[in-house]
Amino acid sequence: MKIIPLLVVLLGTSLSVCAQQNPQLYNIPTPFERYSHYQIIARGGAAIPMGPFATGYIDKSTLENYSIAVDWILQKPFSVGLELGHTFFSKRIPRATYNIDGQDISAVQTRTIKLMPLQGVVNLYLGTTNARIRPYLQLAAGGSLVDYTLYYGSLGNQQQSLKFSYGAGVGSKFLFKKDGSIGADIRVKYNQTALNFDYIENGVGQLNATAGLFYRWW
């Protein structure tokens, strides 16, 4: 019968060892920490005209501002990726008299511009890969398809062109679940697009304030 107390002692020792070892299982790095991985981000929010663009052409903010980005998250605190955006500004000017090709016409002027930038993006992260809150700094550069259309009533003066575009931003990502794949993203970013045409002489400057969702995988 001495074997029963011995088994109890052995069982207790085993449980104690397991209790000490089990927490270590949760210290094993997740795949997101061990490997480079990818994420896709959809953003939307407000775009605010800035600088000469606001004073010379359109000073009205818009909510027709959104983008989608794909990033490659490196093992170091960096990521590189591509972002495709869409922003549409418009403003109606009360009826006035304009001289066009030597003729005076009375018309309601509607100012519009559509920007579709495709930019390469580099992010510098300030937190660990699985941090629930992970701030970042961002630099971006690329090209933007610009559609400038100025209407006098139903008549339009239009130019479509491809222009250099660049930007810088600051934001943060928020994981919904520890070690999870889905989270929220908030970002404030300044974008500048080179353009010198008609009412716009020193480019299109805009400040974007967006919120979105991201999904990451490896």
* All structural domains of the chain with their residue ranges: 31-217
CA 30 to CA 130: how far, in whole Å? Answer: 9
**CB count in 10 Å sphere of residue 191:** 25
pLDDT number for residue 155: 87
Q: What percent of the chain has pLDDT over 70?
A: 88
In 32-181 the beta strands, taken as DSSP E runs, fall at: 37-50, 65-73, 78-100, 103-125, 133-152, 155-175
State the average pLDDT over residues 161-183. Answer: 96
**CB count in 10 Å sphere of residue 130:** 14
Q: 31-217, what's its fold?
A: Porin (2.40.160)
Q: What is the pLDDT of residues 4-50, one digit of tens each?
A: 454 344 445 544 544 454 444 456 788 898 889 999 999 999 999 99
Alpha helices, DSSP H only, in 42-112?
51-56
Q: Which residues contact 100 (CB under 8 A, 6 or more apart)?
A: 152
pLDDT number for residue 27: 66
